[in-house]
A = this chain, B = another copy of it.
Amino acid sequence: MDHLDHVLRQWQAERPDLDTSPMGVIGRLSRASAAVDARLAATFTAHGIDAATFDVLATLVRQGPPYRMSPAELAADAMITSSAVAQRLNRLERGGWIRRQPRPGDGRGKLVEITSAGRAVVDQVLPDHLATEESILEPLSAGERHQLAQLLAHLTPST
């Protein structure tokens, strides 16, 4: 009897003419995501950064050498606007974690490169971050995790 059970019961009493069952799934998805975000944020705060910072730095690291991406690629990867990327990069550049370089052969473009300080942040935070994710998933068996990932993939068209 979680929160969504209560919500569905209320709807059933107030609007018995409607099939409100989809709310049970979508509502739990929304609340699970918010709960997970909150737990991840705590780890980032403990390391003096936030999720947006880690997101950009980790995305650059996982590209492998030479650890460079265009702002547009970063935007697509993080599912945010190019404007939001520009503002994130301003902060990260002020902090000395990334550098902007001109893109060879295209005077419009830039390449974002992580600095050694930025690499160090990822090296320090990543193990803790993974441990937090692992502890979030602790209630699920390996099979259940796989099953959950599969089901979620069906809700995410073409990303």
Contacts and interface: CB of A to CB of B under 8 A. Distances in A.
11 contacts: A4-B153, A18-B126, A23-B133, A24-B149, A25-B137, A25-B148, A29-B36, A31-B159, A34-B79, A144-B154, A148-B152
Nearest to A23: B133
A83 interface: no
A108 interface: no
Interface stretch (A9-17, A87-95, A99-107): A9-17
Assign chain A's interface to a size class. 35 or more
A21 B23 CA distance: 29
Interface in A43-86: 61-64, 79
A26 B36 contact: yes
Interface of A: 2-4, 7, 10-11, 13-15, 18-26, 28-37, 40, 61-64, 79, 126-127, 130, 133-134, 136-137, 139-140, 144-145, 147-149, 151-157, 159
